[in-house]
Each structure stands twice: as structure tokens, then as C-alpha cells.
Amino acid sequence: MAYEPSESTSDCTDTTALALKILVAGGFGVGKTTLVGAVSEIRPLRTEERLSRAGELVDDTGGVDRKSTTTVAMDFGRITIRSGLSLYLFGTPGQDRFWFLWDELSQGALGAVVLADTRRLEHCFPAVDYFEHRAIPFVVAVNCFAGARAYGAHDVSRALDLDPGTPVVLCDARDRDSGKEVLIRLVEHAGRTYAARLFDSVG
């Protein structure tokens, strides 16, 4: 599941031995661009465009009325977890009309982070279903917005009807250390998942 970056996304001075591809997914306005930008050690690539009146007919902006831009292709960033291991982060677009890009972005991905907002928890159902149906390991990261009611990881897991063993973590997408902990949890979870599948295949 190693990801080989192209010249357009690779730093010519990078000597990383292993690079893993991670998706950052979730509903519209949940904090995907914020998370990628917070943890990336390079200037993140963003494909944001301003929301228009024409988009009001197809985009559900309920609960995020102050949001003025949207990702139309992907966000891209990179973070070094430790010597010899880097993660290449691909933030997916959140609106339904851009979901056709998800299949392309998910090719070769080790796993995914599904960001969730407890005020609009139903908006992350499509991402959860997408990764469950494709057997791509993922963690649910609850982005703790100011003023939102606090829920525990167990409550969120039950509300989303997650498969047993799918991690749920609380985070602040604006905080680099918090975001890095989410990514470490994902790498650990994905490693256990693929090891278990390998064991089952030879058992």
C-alpha cells in the first residue's frame, strides 16, 4: 500500500524510504481542508473555489452558513511521522456532485480519516459507507467545534453503526498535534487490519 508520489507532488530533496497515501474525507464544511493544512509540513495544495448562487441549488450548506469556499478537486499535504515514514494526505471534496473523484483518489490508499461534526453527524454517513463497502480501513475523527454538544467516542460509534474495531477519536482539526495523533491512530489501525487479513489468507 505504499504510495509513489509523482514529480508534481514530490519534493526533490525528499529521501523518505516509505510514503503512505491517506485520504481525509467527510461531509461539506467538516474541516478537511483545515486538517490537511494544519498538519502539512509543506505548503498545502488547495483547489478551493468561492461558493456561488448557482451552487445553492445543489449544495447543502445547512449548518455551515458562514462557509464561503469549497474544495472542487482535492487538498494535498505531506507530514513526516518518523524518520523513513511520511504520509501523503489527499482531502476529498465534500459535496455530492464531486464524489466521482473519490474512486480516483482512493486508488492505492492505505486508509482514510472520516471527519465528523456531531451537529451534522448524518453528513459523514456516505463516507463511512464508501470505505466500509470497499474494505478500506478508516478512523472516524470527531472535529470538536466550539459550542457543539460533546459526545463520547462510544456514542458516536453507536450513532454511525460502525463495524466493531473501527476507532473513533476526538480531535481539533486546527491543531497540528491533535491532527497528527489522528493520523498515527489510522496508520496503527490500518496496519492491524492488513496484518489480520494476511493472517486469514494464509490460515
pLDDT per position as a tens digit, 69-86: 554 458 899 999 989 999
Q: What is the pLDDT of residue 21?
A: 97
Given a cut of 70, the residues of the chain with pLDDT beneath it are: 1-16, 47-73, 94-99, 203
Residue 55 pLDDT:
46
Tell me the residue length of the chain.
203
Rounded CA separation 98/102 (Å): 8
Distance CA 158, CA 171 (A): 18
Report the alpha-carbon distance of residue 95 to residue 146 in Å, rounded.
Answer: 23
CB of 3 within 8 A of CB of 108? yes
**What amino acid occupies position 77?**
G
pLDDT confidence of residue 3: 53
Give 126's contacts (C-beta < 8 A, 6+ positions apart).
27, 96, 99
pTM beyond 0.85: no
pLDDT at 51: 47
pLDDT at 97: 58
- What percent of the chain is predicted at pLDDT more than 70? 75
Grid cell at residue 24: 481525509
Looking at residue 8, its pLDDT comes to 44
Q: What is the pLDDT of residue 190?
A: 98
Calpha distance 83→106 (Å, rounded): 25
